Structure 1
Amino acid sequence: MESKIKFRKGYTFDDVLLVPQKSKILPKETVLTTRLTNEIDLNIPIISAAMDTVTEEDMAIAMAREGGIGVIHKNCSIESQKYMVDKVKRSESGMILNPVTVRPSQNIKEARNIMSEFRISGLPVVNDDKLVGIITNRDIRFQVDGNLEVSACMTSENLITVPLETSLEDAEKLLHEHRIEKLLVVNEEGDLAGLITVKDIKKKQQYPNACKDRNGRLRVAAAVGVSGDTEERVKELIYANVDTIVVDTAHGHSKGVLDTISQLKAQNSNLSIIAGNVATGYGAEALIDAGADCVKVGIGAGASCTTRIVAGVGVPQLTAIMDAVNIAKKKNIPVIADGGLRYSGDIAKALAAGADTIMLGSVLAGMDESPGETILYEGRQYKTFRGMGSMGAMEEGSGDRYFQEDTDNKKLVPEGIEGMVPFRGPVKNTIHQLTGGIKASLGYCGCKNIDEFGRKSEFIEITSAGVRESHPHEVRIVKEAPNYSPSDN
C-alpha cells in the first residue's frame, strides 16, 4: 500500500530567518504600499481580522487612518453590520456625497438624536432634495422645547454654498474666510449634492497615510459567510458602500464556499471579493477560478484557533503561504497571510514569502479600538479575546464559518478558545511599531518595497537552538520594549 505520508517539511515563522543582503536602502526610504486586490491598494500591508473581539467600526476607522483596512465581523445582524460599515464611510471624506439631512418639518428632538447617532455637529435642511437651510448645535444648544420645528431654528439666509467641482483647497479658503465649519455643496438645480467640513480637512492633514476611496472616504471591508442570509447581507453592505467583501470560512476549498463566490460574482461583477481560508496551492487555485480577487491563507495558525488539535488538520503557515503564492502570482491575484503572526519579524517573513498583506487578530485585540471588554486581572488591564471558532462566538452566529450553522448549541464542536490579551492602548502605537519592524527588515534585505521583498529575499532554516538564540537570553528584562514581550514567545 502506498504511504499516505508526504515526506516534506512544513515551515512556520520560527523555523526560519531572513538572510541579510548587501543594501543601499535605509528603512526610512522603504515603501509599504501594497495590493489588497487589483482594484484596491493599501498604504500599509496590515488588515484587522473579522473577529467580534477585534474589528467593529472604531477599529476599522483607526486601521484605515493608519493606511490599512479593517474587516468588520459578521457575528451580528445584517442591519448592525451595515450600520458599522456606514459609520466608517461617513467618518470622514473629502466631500460627503450623501450627507445625513433633516427636513424643516422635523422637530428639534429628532435633529438632536440624528446628530448624536452620527456624532456630527450640524445637519443640512432639505425639502424634496432642495437645500433650504442648515441647523447646527449652536442653533439649538439652549433650546428647551424639543417639539419646536427645525424650520424655526435653522439658518436659511445668506447660506454659503459651492458647486460640485470645488476643490478642497478652495473649500478650505472659503471655510476660513467666512469662519464657518461646514460648506454646503449644491448642483445647478439648487439640490444638495454634498458637504465639506473643517473636520474632514483637518483629518486629511492629521492622517496623510489614510487608505481612502476615490471619493475621499475611508475604506472598509466586511465579512460574510455561506449561510442563508449571505445574498441579502451582501446587497445591504453594497448599499452601505463597502469597499470589498470577505467570504470568511474555516475551509475555503469546499463546494459551498466556491459556489457562493461564483454566485456573488455573477450577481455583482464589479464587487471585489476576498475569499478563504485555504492552506494549499490547490485551494488557492480553486478560489481564484471561482472568482476570488484575493486569497486568504491560514488554517489553524491563529492564536485562538484549535483546528489543528481538534481536527488534526492544517499546514504550517509559512509553507501554506508559499504554496498559495506559487499559484496566485501566476494568475496575478494577491494573497493575505492570516494567522500565526506575533511579532513584526513574523510579518516580514510572511511578506518575504510572497504575501501581499497580512491579517492580525490577537495582536490587535488588546487595543483601545477593539470591541472586547476591558477587565482588570491581578492588577493589570486586559481585554477579552476569542476565536470565531470558540463556543461563545459560534453560539452567537459564527457557526457557519465552521459549517455548523444548523447545529444545536449544545452539540457544537468548537475549534477555538476564549481568553484575554494584555491591554495595549491606541492601535496607532502598535501599527507604528509593526511598520517600523517591516521597514527595518526591508532595509536589511536591500529591498525598496514589498513586491521586491517577495521576489529577492532569502530564508535560512534554523534549529530550536537558533530560535532560543534569536530571543533575548541570559538577561532579566526589567523594562519591556513596545514591540517585544517575553510572554509572547
Structure 2
Amino acid sequence: MSTEIEIGRGKRARRVYTFDEIGIVPTRRTRDTELVSTSWSIDAFQFDIPVLGAPMDSVMSPATAIQLGKLGGLGVLNLEGLWTRYENPEPVLEELAQITDPTEALRKMREVYAQPIRGELIQERLAEIREAGVVVAGALSPHRTQEHYETVVKAGVDLFVIRGNTVSAEHVSHEDREPLNLKEFIYELDVPVIVGGAATYKTALHLMRTGAAGVLVGFGGGASSTTRATLGIRAPMASAIADVAGARADYLDESGGRYVHVIADGGLGTSGDLIKAMACGADAVMLGAALARASDAPGRGWHWGQEAYHDELPRGARMNAGAVAPFEQIINGPADSADGTSNLIGALRRAMATTGYSDLKEFQRVDIVHVER
C-alpha cells in the first residue's frame, strides 16, 4: 500500500513518523520484570544494556566511558574532541560552562577546537579506558578517519566508530583529497566497525555491504542539532529505524545470514523514545542529550556536537541540558520524576514485561499503532 501523499501537482511525499506519532501496544501476556533480559551483543562483545554513549564532549569523557562500561553499556569516546587536543581539558570545559551567550559560546568553541588532535593523547585516553577493564570504543568523523585510524587501532580499540551527520559507502570528494572507501577500509581492519548515520533503506543497505558490524540510524535528529533549520533535511526517527531494519532483514537474506546491528542515534530524549526505537527494530541506542543531563557529565549541564562549532555553517547549537540526576541514576534509577529522563533501563524492562516479551529481539515484534497528533 502506498503511503505517498500529494504536496502539489508536481511533487509527492512519503508519509513518515516520529516517535511522538507512534505507541506500542500490550499483548495478552505479561511477565515479571525479573524475567526480562536487556542484554545485547555485537561481534564478540556482550553488554548488559543496549546503550552506547554518544561520542560527544558533553557526554563522554574517559571517566564516563568507563562508568557506562561498568554499568553494562558501551562508552564511545570522541577521538577528535577536547580529550585528544588538551592534556587536561577540564579547565576548558569549565570555562565553556560559564558562558551563557550563544554568540560568545560559538566563538569560544571555535577557538578551543582549533587546537590540533594529538596522536599520543588518542593512545593515552584509550589506554585509560582499557585499564579499567571495559570494552574500548572510539569514534572519528569520515574526513578524519584516514588521518588517525592507524593510531586508533594501534592503541588497542575494540570497536571503531565512524560517525557523521550522514555517512555513505561512496563519497565524492575534491580531486586532491583521497576519499574514504568504506568497503576497502573495513576489510583491511582487524576490529569491528560501526558506521553512520543513515536514514534510508538504500543508504543503510549500501553501508551493510561494506562489512560494517553496525549501522547508526539518524540524520540531524538530536536535541543539539539544527540541521532541519539550516539545511532543510529531516529524517523522522520511527520511520528511519523501521526502514533500516528492513534493510537489515533483506541483507541477512542477501548475505546468507550475516546480521548487521541497527543502532538508533538521535531523537532519544526520554525512556519512551528509547523504548519506541527498540520497538521499531533497533538493536541498541546511542544516547547523547539523555546522558548529557547527568549532573556528573563532562558538559556540566550543557550539550553540543561537532556540528555546533563548524567554521562556516554551524548545524547545531550548544543547548542547556540541565542536570537531572547522577549518571548511574539516569541509567538504572531510581527515578525522581515521571518525565522519562531517569531510570531508562528500568523503563525499558517495564515496557518489555508489560507487553510480554523476554528479550530485545522478541520485543522488536511488538505491535505499534499510529497516534494522531
TM category, shorter: 0.7 to 0.9
- 1:17 maps onto 2:6 in alignment: no
Shift of 1:349: 0.7
Q: Does 1:253 align with 2:168?
A: yes
**What is the DSSP-based 3-state SS (H/G/I as helix, E as strand, rest coil) of the residue aligned with 2:142?**
coil
CA contact (8 A) 1:279 1:314 kept: no
Q: Distance in 2 between matches of 1:53 and 1:60?
A: 12
Per-residue deviation at 1:255? Answer: 2.1
**Cα distance in structure 1, aligned partners of 2:184 and 2:58:** 30
1:380-409 deviations in Å (ceiling 9; x for gaps)? xxx121122112xx3xxxxxxxxxxxxxx3
Structure 2 CA distance for aligned equivalents of residues 336 and 304 of structure 1: 19
Which residue matches 2:281? 354
CA gap of 1:235–1:463, structure 2 versus 1, over 3 A, is same
Give the corresponding residue for 1:453.
363
Is the CA contact (8 Å cut-off) linking 2:266 and 2:287 kept in structure 1? yes
Amino acid across the alignment from 1:222: G
Partners in 2 of 1:260 and 1:426 — Cα distance? 41
Q: Deviation of residue 369 (structure 1)? A: 4.2
User: In the alignment, does 2:266 pair up with 1:339?
Assistant: yes
Contact 1:345–1:441, Cα closer than 8 Å, also in 2:
no
Q: Which moved more, 1:55-64 or 1:253-262?
A: 253-262
Asked if structure 2 preserves the Cα contact closer than 8 Å seen for 1:39 and 1:272, the reply is no
Match of 1:33 in 2: 39
Instruction: For 2:319 and 2:226, locate their aligned partners in 1 and report how far apart those are by CA, in whole Å.
Output: 13
Instruction: Return closer, same or farther for 1:333/1:415 CA change in 2, 3 Å cut-off.
Output: same
Alpha-carbon offset, residue 351 of structure 1: 0.4
Which consecutive residues of structure 2, in runs of 5 or more, have no partner in the other structure? 1-7, 85-116, 173-178, 253-258, 333-342
Q: CA deviation at 1:254?
A: 5.6
Q: Match for residue 100 of structure 2?
A: none
Per-residue Cα deviation, 1:261-294 (whole angstroms, up to 9, x for no partner): 22322321x3100000010011111111122110
CA distance in 1, matches of 2:185, 2:128: 24
What is residue 291 of structure 2 aligned with on the other side?
Answer: 364
Q: What is the SS of the residue equivalent to 1:447? A: coil
Tell me the secondary structure at the aligned position of residue 290 of structure 2: helix
Task: Quote the residue 1:87 is aligned against.
Answer: 128
Tell me the equivalent position of 2:142. Answer: 226
Partner of residue 96, structure 2: none
CA distance in 1, matches of 2:213, 2:304: 28
Report the Cα offset of residue 232 of structure 1. Answer: 4.7
**Structure 2: how far apart are the matches of 1:370 and 1:300?**
22
Residue 400 of structure 1 is matched in structure 2 by none
Q: What code does the residue aligned with 1:450 have?
A: L
Judge conservation of contact 2:195–2:212 (CA < 8 Å) in 1: yes
Kindly provide the amino acid, as one letter, of the partner of residue 129 in structure 2. Answer: V
**1:300 correspondence with 2:220:** yes
Q: Which residue of 1 aligns with 2:154?
A: 239
Query: In 2, are the aligned partners of 1:244 and 1:273 still within 8 Å (CA)?
Result: yes
Give me the TM-score of the superposition, normalised by structure 1.
0.60
Q: Provide the residue aligned with 1:194 in structure 2.
A: none
CA RMSD of aligned residues (A): 1.9
Deviations 1:162-197 (A, max 9, x none): xxxxxxxxxxxxxxxxxxxxxxxxxxxxxxxxxxxx
Q: Secondary structure of the residue that 2:23 maps to in structure 1?
A: strand
- Partner Cα distance (2:187, 2:284) in 1: 26
Aligned mate of 1:389, from 291, 297, 307:
307
User: 1:345 & 1:48 partners in 2: Cα distance?
Assistant: 18
Partner of 2:336: none
Which amino acid in 1 is paired with 2:317?
I
Q: Percent identity?
A: 29
Letter in 2 for 1:243: D
Q: Secondary structure at the match of 2:321?
A: strand
Preserved CA contact (<8 Å) 1:347 1:358? yes
Per the TM alignment, residue 22 of structure 1 is displaced from its structure 2 partner at its CA by 1.6
After TM superposition, list the pairs within 5 Å mapping 1:40-119 onto structure 2: 40-73=45-78, 74-75=80-81, 76=84, 77=117, 78-91=119-132
Confirm or deny: 8 A CA contact 1:48 1:69 kept in the other structure: yes
Q: How big is each residue's C-alpha offset from its partner over 1:50-73, in whole Å with a ceiling of 9 and x where there is no partner?
A: 111111201100110010001101
Please say which structure displays the higher CA radius of gyration: 1
Hey, what does 1:463 align to over in structure 2?
A: 372
Offset at residue 452 of structure 1 (A): 0.2
Residue identity opposite 2:135 in structure 1: R
1:244 and 1:309 map into 2 onto residues whose CA distance is: 33
Unaligned stretches of 5+ residues in structure 1 = 92-216, 375-382, 395-408, 465-489
SS of corresponding position for 2:324: coil
Please state how far the C-alpha of 1:367 moved relative to its aligned partner.
Answer: 2.1
> Deviation of residue 424 (structure 1)?
3.0
Report the equivalent of 1:267.
188
Match of 1:414 among 302, 305, 314: 314
Q: What is the CA–CA distance in structure 1 between the aligned matches of 2:276 and 2:266, rounded to whole Å?
A: 13
Q: 1:51 to 1:289 in 2, by over 3 A?
A: same
State how many pairs are aligned: 307
Shift of 1:360: 0.8
Contact 2:138–2:157 (8 Å) recurs in 1? yes
